[in-house]
């Protein structure tokens, strides 16, 4: 009987919606401090699922300076690995502006895993 109840509860949509989360809430959002110098801190995002161009690009890597809001838009593919992304950042940003102190990104596995 216990096994039947467990199976029912695991498959019940209403039970899953009403279940309390065991995770601590994130709290209030806090603004990030303003950088002191241009390109000291950058934000990185990958825009995917775009129409494929003649060159085969289907994504855009956006890199934005957090102070000046100057941006680099780099064509790439949505299957680009963390190593590919790192090479693009090195070639297109670090070569021109130097190494940033901080890189902000969303929680994409390419940015949180190997990069």
pLDDT of residue 32: 92
Q: Is 100 exposed, middle or buried (0-12, 13-18, 19+ CB in 10 A)?
A: buried
For the chain, which domains are there? 41-112 (3.30.420.10)
In what helix (H) or strand (E) does residue 9 lie, and over which residues does it extend?
helix 2-11
pLDDT 10s digits, 10-68:
777 776 666 666 667 778 888 999 999 999 999 999 999 999 999 999 999 999 999 99
pLDDT of residue 28: 86
Residues 39/33, Cβ–Cβ less than 8 Å: no
pLDDT of residue 109: 74
CA distance 21 to 27: 14
């Amino acid at each position: 009987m216990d096994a039947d109840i467990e199976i029912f509860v695991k498959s019940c949509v209403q039970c899953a919606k009403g279940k309390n989360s065991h995770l601590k809430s994130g709290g209030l959002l806090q603004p990030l401090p303003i950088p002191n110098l241009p390109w000291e801190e950058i934000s990185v995002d990958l825009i995917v699922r775009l129409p494929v161009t003649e060159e085969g690009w289907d994504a855009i890597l956006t890199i934005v300076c957090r102070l000046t809001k100057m941006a680099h838009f780099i064509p790439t593919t949505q299957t680009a690995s963390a190593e590919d992304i790192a090479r693009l950042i090195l070639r297109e940003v670090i070569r021109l502006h130097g190494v940033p102190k901080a890189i902000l990104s969303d929680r994409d596995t390419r940015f949180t895993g190997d990069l």
